[in-house]
A and B are shown apart, each in its own frame.
Chain A
Amino acid sequence: PYPEPSVRCEVVGWQKVLYERQPFPDNYVDQRFLEELRKNVSARKYQYWSVVFESGVVIQQLCSVCVFLVIWWYMDEGLLAPQWLFGTGLASSLVGYVLFDLIDGGTGRKKSGRTRWADLKSALVFITFTYGFSPVLKTLTESVSTDTIYAMSVFMLLGHLIFFDYGANAAIVSSTLSLNMAIFASVCLASRLPRSLHAFIMVTFAIQIFALWPMLQKKLKACTPCSYVGVTLLFALSALVGLLTISGVGAILFALLLLSISCLCPYYLIRLQLFKENIHGPWDEAEIKEDLSRFLT
């Protein structure tokens, strides 16, 4: 039924075109079949230590959550005076604020066009609203069972860790949602504290550690990587020490978690990279590499 490719045809040779009637059957398979197949075109080679460095963000965020929980525990137990925490928080915020501008010499501030007056306004808004609402917060969850609150807080903090913007370009990332979840958790936990002043200071502290601290970190990482590593190590250590004072087992587990994330996971990533086999070819949907938003701004 099918005309066998004759000798003359082989001289002509098969072409990968549709507009010419070629003397080959329709199901002819040429030598050049799949010659444009490519593998692992966009696969990246990773360096171990750079991956470890990048994992610092995750470590930082885990430690933030840990520190927050530790502080809350101290407050709940009455071991930590709220005034003291407020004072420390305010001082470290001021230091951080000065550092924030010093690190890049004020170029970041010029780029964003944000005035100091706006910063002050934001700070005032935080403090007045939190202070105004703190009595409400105090009575908000008193009829809800403590276990429910704990479960909700854990759920929200996990969500915070999952949706946090660690720098990966994925659909799941949403820094807004992540921050909101953290605030929600802090409000829940703060409502459990003995007095409304405690609640106010706890929420303020949550803003400092979940909203302001990552901003400073980001800048540190971009401008002075060495000091960033130092700060990360210091922060992790302090979180561990804090946890140790509450529970030794918890501290050990947490240390193991941090170690596995910063050392073991990068190792596995590099190992598994060898098995990657990604097929590419002309059928792939082309990617638009340019930034097209410039035409619309």
Chain B
Amino acid sequence: MGLLSGGAAEAGQGQAIPAGLLGPPRSRRLQPQGSAPRSWIPTMVLKVFFPSCCSSADSGLLIGRWIPEQNSAVILAVVHFPFIPFQVKQYLSEVQKVSQVDIVVLGTWCNNKQEKEENLGKFLDDLGTIFSHEPWLQISKEKGSKFWSCHTLSRQADTPTEDQVILVYYDQRKVMLSRLHPPEISLDNQPGVITAPDASKLAAVFDTVAKSEVLFMTDRYDDGPIKLTHWQSEGVEASIIVELAKQASVPVCMLLTGLLSLVSGLCKSRIFKFWPVSFIWSKLSTCEQVRYRLEHLRFVFSNQKAENQNQLMRKANIFVSLLVDVALGILLLSWLYRKNRIGQLADALIPVADHVARELQDLLQWLMGVPAGLKMNRALDQVLGRFFLYHIHLWISYIHLLSPFIEMILWYVGLSACLGLTVVLSILSDIFALLTFHIYCFYVYGARLYCLKIYGLSSLWRLFRGKKWNVLRQRVDSCSYDLDQLFIGTLLFTILLFLLPTTALYYLVFTLLRLLVVIVQGLIHLLVDLIDSLPLYSIGLRFCRSYRLAAGVKFRVLEQEEGRPLRLLMQINPLSYGSVVQTYRLPTYSCYPKDTWGSLCKKLFFGELIYPWKQKGDKQD
């Protein structure tokens, strides 16, 4: 029947009904006046992008790029008189070869400063026959007025037309240096801001200017055959230092790369592959952090040149973040090793651990009584309580065994601060994990016991109802059990049901403790991640040179008069800080649990273990 063919022939994009139907009638801002669709405008209007630094240049030829798809011309420079047409052509072809942009002569520029050049206009017209370009632009600035006129000349219809030209001024330096970002943020509500559909057009303009960097190298005072006016860089002297640094960086990089490969080779050596070592290695966040930093170092000091702007940015970001990290680390170091702070810390640590253990003991004693008036099974309660108490006893003796060495350990660990603050923080997190190992053990015992109970109860509850879980079909089937199966099942069900509250309470208390530890560790990791991933260089760039990171442009209307070309000033819209961070965020080794809140709660309810770090299974994925 035709329904399927109808489906294939179905046309049109759906529109969200609530917006379309129930909302108030939309304002027609995006609609042009009259009924002409807006997509026609670009095909009609000629856009000329004019560098603002050339507005006071002497008369001459306009050179730049013609973008036929958008019917727009990007003017890059003005060639002054006198010139020899052949030399101009040759020069342009050279530039073209280097910059990969087809730069051509677009038209003429007439700055009527002097009265005597009145007859120049005629001459300029004739130039069009030498440098054939379609269409031929004629831009002139009238003396004593701020009005400009712009004509286009085409071979077919030899009548200059004037009405459909838009002049757009742009700052050549800023446009060259800035990077246009895909507009992620909607700028809909600001008038005159060009958004998504026009982004690709703007990108072409930006690209053209950025690629023609070669053109701007020529100095104003060069005695070449051709005189140009365009933006010129001022600080040539400073760039010498940069050059020197560049030269010096190559051997430094080589040396560091060699060292790094040695270190990483050492890390990869056999010793770390054996089971207990590799297991501990993978569980300690310090190791993860060190490995992560090593990777960064290798990336920064690699011999390969950054392929594109993105990679360059990334290198710079990593470099700055490394610097900041190490600086913070050394600051901490200097603070720690003054006035025997390490010793104080070590002295404080043991009592704290003792205190925690004592608190736990008290908690267990409380649980073994009648906690919060809950009626628990006395026998099971006693058994569990004694079991945990014994563990605490073991723990305390272990801590006391360790106490003489604590200060020494801390002293050496403190030295690692020169590797960076993040490494110290990771070590702190690991030490914290070690010191709360008893809580972790309790949690695991409690969770396993509870999990077993829940699992048993759920399957016995199915038996109680005369059902069973069909593994093959993944569903609950009804099943006829034998009398003895039923009897034993129900007996066990009853026993488990009445013992559940006791286990559940132990599980609850230890889970809460465990969660506390996990939260503290998570906070430390969050801090580490923040330092690791914050694109400091990009943020600094945005702060100091906001035009370097452009989100888009906005146009300001300079003048609008009947019969004159519309003149607009193009200004760069800087990227917002949020999107800077979003775009340039450095990837980190994420150690958060990947669960959503819902699945975390589910896991907690069913007594499955939760880890703050990556699990073995996740790693293989």
Contact = CB atoms under 8 A, between A and B. Distances in A.
A and B touching (Cβ–Cβ under 8 A): yes
B493 A140 contact: no
A184 B495 CA distance: 10
Instruction: Please classify the interface of chain B as helix (H, G, I), strand (E, B), loop, or mixed, using the class held by over half of its residues.
Output: helix
Contact of A125 (B375, B378, B484, B498): B484
B379 interface: yes
Interface string B488-532: 111101110011000000000000000000000000000000000
B464 A143 contact: no
A203 B488 CA distance: 12
A207 B487 contact: yes
A67 B489 CA distance: 25
A140 B377 contact: yes
A203 B481 CA distance: 19
Given A133-B491, A144-B375, A187-B490, A122 B484 contact: yes
B25 to A, nearest CB: 42
B495 A139 contact: no
Interface centre among A137, A174, A176, by most B CB within 10 Å?
A: A176
Interface string A188-213: 10000000000000010001000100
B332 to A, nearest CB: 54
B498 A141 contact: yes
Contacts of B377: 139-140, 142-143
B326 interface: no
B378 A139 contact: yes
Contact of A142 (B378, B480, B484, B488): B378
Nearest to B380: A139
Contacts of B379: 139
B483 A211 contact: yes
B465 interface: yes
Interface in B440-480: 463-466, 480
Contacts of B368: none
Contacts of B480: 176
Instruction: Please classify the interface of chain A as helix (H, G, I), strand (E, B), loop, or mixed, using the class held by over half of its residues.
Output: helix
Interface in A131-149: 133, 136-137, 139-145
A174 B465 contact: yes
Nearest to A130: B491
Given A129-B487, A183-B486, A183-B490, A137 B378 contact: no
A133 B494 CA distance: 11
Given A139-B377, A184-B494, A187-B494, A125 B464 contact: no
A93 B490 CA distance: 22
B372 to A, nearest CB: 13
A90 B590 CA distance: 67
Contacts of A97: none
A137 B375 contact: no
B536 interface: no
A202 to B, nearest CB: 13
Interface size class of B (residues with CB under 8 A): 20 to 34
B551 interface: no
A179 interface: yes
A55 interface: no
Contacts of B488: 125, 129
Contact of B495 (A125, A137, A174, A211): A137
Contacts of A144: 375, 498
A211 B481 CA distance: 13
A174 B378 CA distance: 36
B466 A177 contact: yes
B175 interface: no
Given A125-B484, A141-B498, A177-B466, A183 B491 contact: yes
Contacts of A183: 486-487, 490-491, 494
Contact of A129 (B466, B483, B491, B498): B491
B165 to A, nearest CB: 69
Given A140-B498, A174-B466, A187-B494, A180 B486 contact: yes
Contact of A126 (B375, B378, B484, B498): B484
Contacts of B539: none
Contacts of A207: 487
B384 to A, nearest CB: 15
A14 B602 CA distance: 66
Contacts of A188: 494
Contacts of B463: 180
B376 interface: yes
Contacts of A136: 495
Interface string A210-241: 01000000000000000000000000000000
Nearest to B467: A176
Interface centre among B481, B491, B499, by most A CB within 10 Å?
A: B491
Nearest to A179: B486
Interface in A72-112: none
B500 to A, nearest CB: 11
A88 to B, nearest CB: 21
Contacts of A133: 491, 495
Nearest to A140: B498
A259 B305 CA distance: 100
A70 B376 CA distance: 30
A49 to B, nearest CB: 34
A149 B291 CA distance: 60
A176 B479 CA distance: 9
Contacts of A177: 464-466
B465 to A, nearest CB: 5
Interface string A165-182: 000000000111101100
A184 B498 contact: no
Nearest to B502: A143
A108 B484 CA distance: 20
A141 B376 CA distance: 9
A144 B461 CA distance: 21
Contacts of B464: 177, 180, 184
Given A143-B375, A144-B375, A176 B491 contact: no
B494 A126 contact: no
Contacts of A180: 463-466, 486, 489-490, 493
A123 to B, nearest CB: 9
Nearest to B488: A129
Contacts of A211: 483, 487
A137 to B, nearest CB: 7
B220 to A, nearest CB: 94
B168 to A, nearest CB: 70
27 contacts: A126-B487, A129-B487, A129-B491, A130-B491, A133-B491, A133-B495, A137-B495, A139-B378, A139-B379, A140-B495, A140-B499, A141-B498, A142-B378, A143-B376, A143-B377, A143-B378, A144-B375, A174-B466, A176-B466, A176-B481, A177-B465, A180-B486, A180-B490, A183-B490, A184-B490, A187-B490, A187-B494
Interface of A: 121-122, 125-126, 129-130, 133, 136-137, 139-145, 174-177, 179-180, 183-184, 187-188, 203, 207, 211
Given A122-B484, A144-B498, A207-B487, 17 more contacts: A122-B483, A126-B487, A129-B491, A133-B491, A136-B495, A139-B379, A140-B495, A142-B377, A143-B376, A144-B375, A174-B465, A176-B465, A176-B486, A180-B463, A183-B487, A184-B464, A211-B483
Q: Which 8 A-B pairs have the closest CB atoms?
A: A176-B466, A143-B375, A183-B490, A187-B494, A125-B484, A122-B484, A180-B490, A180-B464
